[in-house]
Amino acid sequence: MRGKTLLIRLAALAVCVAVAATMMVIGRGHTLYFDNKTIENYQGNEYKAFERVVVTIDGEEVAKLGKRERGMATWIGQSFKMTLEITEKKGDEPRIEEISMDLPYSVDGIVINLPAYLAGLPEDAWFSEFVPMVEEEPGEDEPLPGEGDEFGLEGDLGMEGDLGA
Amino acid sequence: MSKSEQLRQTRFGQLVDAFGLPRLIITGFLIFLFIMAPITGSDLPTQITNVINRFSWNAVLVLAMVPMIHSGCGLNFGVPLGVLAGLLGGTLAIEMGFTGPMSFVMAIVVSTPFAILFGGGYGALLNKIKGGEMMVATYVGFSSVSFMCIMWLLIPYKNPSIVMAYTGVGLRNMFALDSFYAGVLSKFLEIDLNPLGINLVIPVGSLLFFALLAFLMWAFLHTKTGTAMTAVGSNPTFAKASGINVDKIRLLSVVLSTWLGAVGILVYQQGFGFVQLYTAPLNMAMPAVAAILIGGASVNKASVANVIIGTFLFQGLVTMTPTVITALIHTDVSEVIRIIVSNGMVIYALTRKTEGAK
Amino acid sequence: MKMKKNFNGFDFLQNNLVPLMFIIICAICIPLSGFSTSYLLNEVVTRMGRNIFLILSLLIPIMAGMGLNFGMTLGAMAGQVALIFVTDWQIWGIPGVVLAMILSVPLSALLGLMCGKLMNMAKGREMILGYMMNYFVTGLYQLLVLYFMGSIIPIKHASIRLPRGFGIRTTVNLTNMRQCLDNEFAILYKGVKIPVLNFIIIALLCLFIVWFRRTKLGQDMRAVGQDMEVAQAAGINVDRTRIISIIISTVFAGFGQIIYLQNIGNFPTYTAHSQIGMFCIAALLVGGASVERASIGNVFLGVILFHTMFIVAPRAGVAITGDAMIGEYFRVFVSYGVITLALIMYEIKKRRARSHGGELLARAQREGGVQS
């Protein structure tokens, strides 16, 4: 009987850990940035920006990019899929491409250069990491506990009566 | 100097008597702070001045805990009620046009009927709910303070130095007492060693005022009524059997506590120099409760010595930690230490087994 | 062991006084506030979706006779710690919520265990102890979040750290998690958004509570709630049962806080939990619950009435007095007042029952019968 209880408990624990691990994988969020920019010199070749690219993710149009423009989208998980509607040169009929790729787990912001990617270049040509600047708002460190004196309900911590000294 | 000697002796006696671990840690920590203060470069006399000053502001409020603990009503989380009476007294005295020391006397005089009224009602209520006083007291404090928040806006105060600047309706959140009773006690007979080059200022007047109240309390506890109160607190069944009117004694203790709360806040204000209204009274209960517990009191036992030791230890902790600890580790953890220590103390006291508290 | 119902009128009044009062307050305030029906309905439904789970977490300790669990805040803090980690690891959406819930369990179970043990050391003073635990654990929480996170515990993203390098910023943004539960399967009906998934989760918890009452453990808990000594004599491990009830409550409170905060979309790191206990308890009591008896129905009624009052009071206050602050203070006063009233009634009733029991015992002894 005791062995059985222990077994059930261990199993429950294992399930929890498994679910947590799964969530960590499938819930990892990424911010994707799409660049429609000309790569001037990659191993001697030039890859021209498209006239117009429409990025559609999950049936939702997230960006319509002209030359030298950047679009942004969010994606949860690692296996990323999108549909591109590409107009290569002015007056061309747009072609549609389905693209799926694996995103690196550890990168938050991923910049994809579309012309380079579609030309089938290796990863280092089209992939780069986007590191957002942390905005340092002045006075951010103002209302830490014990310093803030918000009016209303906040004051009843009972320990905040220290305005003097 | 002989006074601090005396203080030390009682403290050691107390430690031997009730060798509570948390208390020992706090005392040790405070001694550590006093030793570290000069090492970290803060001026010891200034620190001592601060500790004594804050002691003089808060001691009366801590004293307000004593009667209710004695009569078995537990820790007075309802002290905001007394504070409200004091605030009413203070603001009304100013409204009536009193200034200077007279306003302090009048504030006490005016707050007394309120304290008796509030304390009477509160005491009658607590008599109906013996055994559950503390939780109810907490919420009586909360609801009366939030009720008075409405009242501070509605009572037609007129004095331009205390009503809101723009609208002229409702009292200000906080106002200075400079032309009223700021420093009436602390400036009285003040010893100031600054001319001698030592940054030591002792507010003798405030200390004397507290000493007077503490002596009266001590004397009261030794009168017939006072001993009856102790009996009610330590063994209500026995007290009832020996013909003591338990309810009446408890009521008296609550009124006394409330009145001391009212006087306590006025003393605090004269030291601090400002009156804080609205939700501010809620902040007065916890430091007072924590202080008396640190001083060695339990849920149903407290003495005047506990008040003195506890206030000194707690205020010492509160005053010294920011400067000393910040200098040591370059991070201000004083707020967190204060929260953990004071609330940990209350939890420690609540989990102790108490005899006849029910 | 049947409880005699001697004070029927008194009981009826006691059980319904507060809800009746609230219905009257709401009936007066709603027209004065001038809100449209669909706005009001939408607000109330949203608040139901985000608050009911938290309030349900209060039910089990009441069943075990431990009163209103003011210590539910501990669970809320555990939930917040979990949310900070999940935000830092950039786990988004529903997986983020699920992960936060799982992460919160060990912490809230530990805090619940601590709280339960201390409550067993302070029998008869559980409520005030739980109340004090809030503040004590708030200190520990601040120590962890303000000083340890980023210095001892790794926090990757500078965007949630304080500029000084350690400690968490005063606001944690849950942008990528915002309303992910609310929006899943949501139904928009005449301008009222119904967060269906939230209600499904709430329904599951209600089913759990109903089921739990019938289990052996649930029965034990009720026995302990009725009379600890009798339960002990019947071979129930009273202390263990009480600890379990507090642990369950704390864990659910942690889940509840996560659901609550994903709806709001960000939270003030150091104050988000401080009022949650007070509001939940007030809402439960407004629904007609008392310190020793509360049902799922009380929770639903309480949320509706309490939050209607909360929404309309400031505007109604302006309409009556011309001052917005009065309405604000009024709703705070009412919340505190309701809790005070409930506590007083509970204590009076308890005392009356005790003296009544004493009389019965005395009579039984006089008659020489051996009754129990």
**Domain presence at residue A119:** yes
Q: Work out the minimum CA distance from C7 to partner chain A, whole angstroms.
A: 37
Q: Work out the minimum CA distance from B232 to partner chain A, whole angstroms.
A: 30
**Is A26 an interface residue toward C (CB < 8 Å)?**
yes
How, if at all, do strands A109-113 and A29-36 pair?
Answer: parallel
pLDDT of residue B355: 44
Quick one: pLDDT band at residue B8, thresholds 50, 70, 90? Answer: low
Question: Which residues of A are less than 8 Å from C96 in CB distance?
Answer: 23, 27, 29
Question: Which residues of C are less than 8 Å from A19 in CB distance?
Answer: 98, 102
Give the C-alpha distances (Å, rounded to integers) separating B170 from B154, C64, C174, C315: 6, 46, 39, 19
Q: Could B283 and A161 be called an inter-chain contact, meaning their C-beta atoms sit closer than 8 Å?
A: yes
Q: Chain-wide mean pLDDT for chain B?
A: 83
**Is A141 an interface residue toward C (CB < 8 Å)?**
yes
Of C135, C146, C340, the CB nearest to B143: C340
pLDDT at A148 over 90: no
More confident residue, C190 or C9: C190
Among C residues 126-145, those touching chain B with beta carbons less than 8 Å apart? 127-129, 131-133, 135-136, 138-140, 142-143
**Is A108 an interface residue toward C (CB < 8 Å)?**
yes
More confident residue, C318 or B2: C318
**Is A133 an interface residue toward C (CB < 8 Å)?**
no
Q: Which of A61-65, A119-123, B193-197, C43-47 has the highest mean pLDDT?
A: C43-47
Q: Chain-wide mean pLDDT for chain C?
A: 86
Of A19, A24, A141, the CB nearest to C162: A141
Give the integer Cα–Cα distance in Å for B45 and B52: 10
Q: Which domains does chain B have, with CATH numbers?
A: 2-350 (1.10.3470)
Helices B334-351 and B304-329: crossing angle, nearest 10°? 150
Tokens for A63, please give them. Answer: 């960006």
pLDDT at C368 over 60: no
Under 8 Å between Cβ of A118 and A57 = no
Q: Work out the minimum CA distance from B223 to partner chain C, whole angstroms.
A: 31
Quick one: pLDDT band at residue A147, thresholds 50, 70, 90? Answer: very low
Tokens for C244, please give them. Answer: 């379990």
pLDDT at A143 over 70: no
Of A145, A146, A155, the CB nearest to B279: A155
User: The domain spanning residue A94 has which CATH number?
Assistant: 2.60.40
**Domain presence at residue A158:** no
Give the integer Cα–Cα distance in Å for C319 and C334: 18
Phi and psi at A159, nearest 5°, equal -115, 10
Q: What percent of chain C has pLDDT over 90?
A: 40
Q: Which domains does chain C have, with CATH numbers?
A: 8-360 (1.10.3470)
**Domain presence at residue A101:** yes
Instruction: Report the residue of chain C nearest B339, measured CA to CA.
Output: C139
**Domain presence at residue A57:** yes
User: Quick one: DSSP state of residue B298?
Assistant: B
In this complex, the chains that touch B, judged by 3 or more CB pairs closer than 8 A, are A, C
Question: Structurally, how many domains does chain A consist of?
Answer: 1
Give the integer Cα–Cα distance in Å for B225 and B67: 11
Q: Chain-wide mean pLDDT for chain A?
A: 76
CB pairs under 8 A between B and C: 109
Instruction: Report the residue of chain A nearest B285, measured CA to CA.
Output: A158
Give the C-alpha distances (Å, rounded to integers) separating B33 from A46, B28, B321, B322, C344: 70, 9, 7, 10, 44
Give the C-alpha distances (Å, rounded to integers) separating B229 from B123, B211, B321, C6: 14, 22, 38, 35
pLDDT of residue B339: 84
Mutate to test the interface with A, among C102, C174, C183 (most CBs of A within 10 A): C102
pLDDT at B71 over 70: yes
**Domain presence at residue A152:** no
The dihedral formed by the CA atoms of A99, A101, A106 and A108, expressed in degrees to the nearest 10:
0
Q: Comparing C-alpha atoms, which of C186, C75, C193 is closest to residue C137? A: C75
Tokens for B215, please give them. Answer: 């002596």
**Domain presence at residue A35:** yes
**What is the C-alpha end-to-end distance of chain B, expressed in Å?**
43
**What is the C-alpha end-to-end distance of chain A, expressed in Å?**
63
**Per residue in B239-290, pLDDT tens?**
888 888 888 888 999 999 999 999 999 999 888 888 888 888 888 888 888 8
**Is A132 an interface residue toward C (CB < 8 Å)?**
yes
Under 8 Å between Cβ of B13 and B300 = no
Q: Work out the minimum CA distance from A89 to partner chain C, whole angstroms.
A: 37
ipTM for this prediction:
0.82
pLDDT at B358 over 50: no
Q: Work out the minimum CA distance from B356 to partner chain C, whole angstroms.
A: 13
Q: Could B142 and A156 be called an inter-chain contact, meaning their C-beta atoms sit closer than 8 Å?
A: yes
pLDDT of residue C364: 66
Q: What percent of chain B has pLDDT over 90?
A: 15
| Overall average pLDDT of the B15-38 stretch | 74
Q: Comparing C-alpha atoms, which of C167, C333, A162 is closest to residue B287? A: A162
| Overall average pLDDT of the C240-259 stretch | 94
Q: Could A160 and B283 be called an inter-chain contact, meaning their C-beta atoms sit closer than 8 Å?
A: yes
Phi and psi at C224, nearest 5°, equal -60, -40
pLDDT at C232 over 80: yes
Q: Which of A33-37, B222-226, C360-364 has the lowest mean pLDDT?
A: C360-364
Per residue, the 3-state secondary structure of chain C, as one string, reads CCCCCCCHHHHHHHHHHHHHHHHHHHHHHHHHHCCCHHHHHHHHHHHHHHHHHHHHCCHHHHHCCCCCCCCHHHHHHHHHHHHHHHHHCCECHHHHHHHHHHHHHHHHHHHHHHHHHHHHHCCCCHHHHHHHHHHHHHHHHHHHHHHHECCCECCCCCCCECCCCCCECCEEECCCCCCHHHHCCCEEECCEEECHHHHHHHHHHHHHHHHHHHCHHHHHHHHHHHCHHHHHHCCCCHHHHHHHHHHHHHHHHHHHHHHHHHHHCEEECCCCCCCHHHHHHHHHHHCCCCCCCCCHHHHHHHHHHHHHHHHHHHHHHHHHHCCHHHHHHHHHHHHHHHHHHHHHHHHHHHHHHHHHHHHHHHHHHHHCCCCC
| Overall average pLDDT of the C353-370 stretch | 66
Q: Work out the minimum CA distance from A40 to partner chain C, whole angstroms.
A: 33
| Structural domain that includes position A45 | 29-129
Give the integer Cα–Cα distance in Å for B300 and B66: 9
Q: Comparing C-alpha atoms, which of B1, B36, B12 is closest to residue B309? A: B12
Q: Work out the minimum CA distance from C318 to partner chain A, whole angstroms.
A: 17
pLDDT at C162 over 80: yes
pLDDT of residue C9: 66
Give the integer Cα–Cα distance in Å for C86 and C78: 12
In this complex, the chains that touch C, judged by 3 or more CB pairs closer than 8 A, are A, B
Q: Could A132 and C159 be called an inter-chain contact, meaning their C-beta atoms sit closer than 8 Å?
A: yes
**Domain presence at residue A61:** yes
Give the integer Cα–Cα distance in Å for B64 and B74: 12
Give the integer Cα–Cα distance in Å for B284 and B287: 6
Instruction: Report the residue of chain C nearest B350, measured CA to CA.
Output: C122
Question: Which residues of C are less than 8 Å from B326 in CB distance?
Answer: none
Give the integer Cα–Cα distance in Å for C101 and C116: 21
Q: Comparing C-alpha atoms, which of C53, C35, C73 is closest to residue C313? A: C35
The pTM (predicted TM-score) of the whole model is: 0.84
Tokens for B163, please give them. Answer: 């009503």
pLDDT of residue C210: 94
Region class of C25: left (phi > 0), else alpha (psi between -120 and 50), else beta: alpha
Q: Could A164 and B142 be called an inter-chain contact, meaning their C-beta atoms sit closer than 8 Å?
A: no
**Is B25 an interface residue toward C (CB < 8 Å)?**
no
Question: Which residues of B are less than 8 Å from A146 in CB distance?
Answer: 335
Under 8 Å between Cβ of B262 and B111 = yes
| Overall average pLDDT of the C270-277 stretch | 87
Q: Which of A122-126, A154-158, B102-106, C81-85 has the highest mean pLDDT?
A: C81-85
In this complex, the chains that touch A, judged by 3 or more CB pairs closer than 8 A, are B, C
pLDDT of residue C52: 94
Q: Work out the minimum CA distance from C329 to partner chain A, whole angstroms.
A: 8
Residue C301, CB-side half-sphere exposure with 13 Å CA sphere: 17
Sign, CA torsion C211/C217/C220/C225: negative
Q: Could C142 and B339 be called an inter-chain contact, meaning their C-beta atoms sit closer than 8 Å?
A: yes
Q: Which of B11-20, B160-169, C110-119, C333-342 has the lowest mean pLDDT?
A: B11-20
